[in-house]
Amino acid sequence: MNQDHNKSKENTYDLYISSLLIGNRLNCGMTIKNLLHANSNTNALSHEIINIYEQFFQRSLYAIGEYWEKNLITVATEHMATAITEGIMNEVYPLIINPKRISKKVIVSSVENEEHQIGAKMVSDMFEMHGWDAIYLGANTPLNELILFIEQFKPNLLALSLSVYFNLPNLESMLNKITDNYPDVPIIIGGQAFRYGGKDIADLYSNVIYISDLNSLEKYILTLDQ
């Protein structure tokens, strides 16, 4: 039975990424809607959102990034897939936002010079699902402006997403300046780049934690909600 479920899940993923690669947004959107419709109660929905984000959005974009690196697709195809994914995430958002707010704020941003923002958006949505006010800054937020945002909004937490390993020095520069100015603000870091190393950068700071995936992020958020 479990084997049949896994096979069905893989078939659904194959349909999704095939549609994504040819720009069929309608098929991609219907695939996700069908998954959400099958898990409409609150507890199952939380689990399914994480499943969709990791096993469909994240997995497909990682694969498409690898196709581009191998010159199997054009950069235009990669951009198209990213735009479709972000569009579907916007459609899913009304199901995610929790009307019960907990008076906590998180600033979510990509690292300076990062042009990828889907990972940061996923993190932002996870906090919103748990009643936080997520101030989502998207891609390539200049460090000086981020510092000003921290001063203005006084968040309970800062989340930084790193997609390209080459930008690890930028993350370290950001952590140094932010911790110098706001040593008491907890910071979580994560993203695709850490598949290639660099996780131990968090060990250099007392207020920085590396989060590997959305399930781990949810568990961490739940500890903060207590």
d(CA 102, CA 198): 33
Q: Which pLDDT does position 37 carry in this prediction? A: 79
Q: Which pLDDT does position 115 carry in this prediction? A: 87
Q: Which pLDDT does position 159 carry in this prediction? A: 97
Length of the chain, in residues: 226
Task: List the structure tokens of 101.
Answer: 């707010």
Q: What is the DSSP string of 167-201?
A: GHHHHHHHHHHHHHH-TTS-EEEE-GGGGGS-GGG
Average pLDDT over residues 154-172: 94
Q: Is the pLDDT of residue 39 over 90?
A: no
Q: Which pLDDT does position 41 carry in this prediction? A: 54
Average pLDDT, the chain: 91
d(CA 143, CA 34): 40
d(CA 83, CA 226): 36
Domains of the chain, first to last: 2-96 (1.10.1240.10), 105-225 (3.40.50.280)
Return all residues near 131 (Cβ < 8 A) that are at least 6 apart: 98, 100, 101, 102, 104, 225
Return all residues near 154 (Cβ < 8 A) that are at least 6 apart: 105
pLDDT in tens, 40-97: 555 567 788 999 999 999 999 999 989 998 999 999 999 999 999 999 999 999 988 8
Return all residues near 221 (Cβ < 8 A) that are at least 6 apart: 126, 127, 130, 132
Beta strands in the chain (DSSP E): 105-110, 133-138, 157-161, 187-190, 208-210
Residue 29 CB coordination number (10 Å): 17
Q: Which pLDDT does position 191 carry in this prediction? A: 93
- Pair 82, 202: CB distance under 8 Å: no
Q: Which pLDDT does position 40 carry in this prediction? A: 56
* Confidence band of 4 (pLDDT split at 50, 70, 90): low
pLDDT in tens, 175-225: 999 999 999 999 999 998 998 999 999 999 999 999 999 999 999 999 986
**What is the separation, in whole angstroms, between the first and last Cα of the chain?**
37
Q: Is the pLDDT of residue 5 over 80?
A: no
- What's the CA dihedral at 66, 67, 69, 72 to 10 degrees? 170
Q: Which pLDDT does position 3 carry in this prediction? A: 64
Q: Which pLDDT does position 18 carry in this prediction? A: 97
Q: Which pLDDT does position 140 carry in this prediction? A: 87
Q: Is the pLDDT of residue 129 over 80?
A: yes
Q: Is the pLDDT of residue 2 over 80?
A: no
d(CA 186, CA 223): 13
